[in-house]
């Protein structure tokens, strides 16, 4: 097994591993925690093999809004069709931070890809926190944020998918620390995101806007990010507790189909 970093901020490709066979589980887990998002190439996994890998990394759970594929309720299809203009989750975000226990991580496996475009960006939220001034860190360390599944920006990318796939449409709300401590590494990470964070606890949305706007722009500065170019059979596994992601919507008129598995997490602290 070889590990090759893809940027200075985060992200690494894992080479020489076939996930359908035996693989060095502890080494992969260590790389995941160190690099926040890891990538594999040429993984021709069936849904059952994909699930088997996921179960060795964590506990797969069902996604709250989109039903799973036939026979595998924890595997959802993330799809943009030729006639669609919006892509699923097409905004910077940390997955389902509106849950009381947001996921530990997510896995995405490329099934069908457009002839160009459709890359995914990732952003290091350890760096986002560490690069703030000491004074700003002191302010944020004592704050909590209210996260909602119905925030306007994300509903524009999600609403049609919920309707066409028979998903649920109720609003989910959860309060989490603005700065969370990673339960495995002990490092602090900024934990707000433009897709789901509506306001600070104890403040109105209007009062929260100026500081949230600064944080949303700060946490995805180019030097905190990496960009992954997909190929069929590519698999990405990211740490939802300290990384955000953004699927780039630059392939209108073409089809993109991915399979995703979400892994259970714990309550942010």
Query: Where in the sequence numbering do the catalytic residues fall?
Result: 93, 95, 245, 260
Listing DSSP states for 40-95 in one string gives E-S----HHHHHHHHHHHS-EE--SSSPPBTTBTTEEEEEE-TT--S-TT-SSB-T
Phi, psi angle pair for 211, to nearest 5°:
-70, -40
Helix ranges, 142-199 (H): 152-165
What are the Cα distances from residue 249, in Å, to 90, 97, 99?
A: 7, 22, 26
Decide if 83 contacts 210 (C-beta within 8 A).
no
Closest CA to 63 of 98, 113, 36, 111: 98
Decide if 205 contacts 82 (C-beta within 8 A).
no
Residue linked to tokens 């926040």: 36
Rg (CA), the chain: 18
Phi, psi angle pair for 57, to nearest 5°:
-95, -20
Rounded to whole angstroms, the Cα distance separating 233 from 174 reads: 35
Phi, psi angle pair for 238, to nearest 5°:
-120, 155
């Amino acid at each position: 097994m070889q590990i090759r970093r893809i940027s200075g901020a985060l992200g690494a490709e894992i080479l020489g591993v076939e996930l359908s066979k035996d693989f060095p589980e502890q080494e992969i887990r260590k790389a995941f925690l160190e690099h926040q998002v890891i990538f594999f190439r040429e993984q021709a996994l069936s849904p059952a093999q994909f699930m088997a890998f996921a179960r060795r990394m964590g506990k797969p759970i069902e996604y709250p809004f989109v039903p799973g594929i036939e026979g595998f309720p924890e595997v959802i299809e993330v799809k943009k069709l030729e006639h669609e203009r919006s892509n699923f989750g097409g905004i910077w975000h940390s997955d389902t931070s509106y849950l009381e226990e947001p996921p530990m991580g997510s896995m995405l496996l490329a099934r069908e890809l457009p002839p160009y475009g459709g890359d995914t960006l990732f952003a290091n939220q350890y760096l986002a926190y560490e690069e703030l001034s000491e004074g700003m860190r002191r302010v944020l360390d004592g704050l909590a944020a209210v996260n909602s599944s119905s925030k306007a920006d994300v509903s524009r990318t999600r609403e049609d998918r919920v309707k066409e796939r028979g998903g649920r449409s109720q609003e989910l709300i959860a309060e989490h620390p603005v700065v969370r401590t990673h339960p495995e590494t002990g490092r602090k990470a900024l934990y707000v995101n433009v897709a789901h964070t509506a306001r600070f606890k104890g403040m109105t949305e209007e009062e929260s806007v100026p500081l949230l706007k600064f944080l949303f722009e700060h946490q995805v500065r180019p030097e905190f990010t990496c960009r992954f170019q997909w190929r069929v059979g590519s698999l990405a596994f990211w740490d939802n507790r300290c990384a955000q992601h953004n699927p780039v919507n630059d392939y209108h008129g073409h089809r993109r189909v991915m399979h995703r598995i979400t892994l259970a997490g714990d309550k942010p602290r």
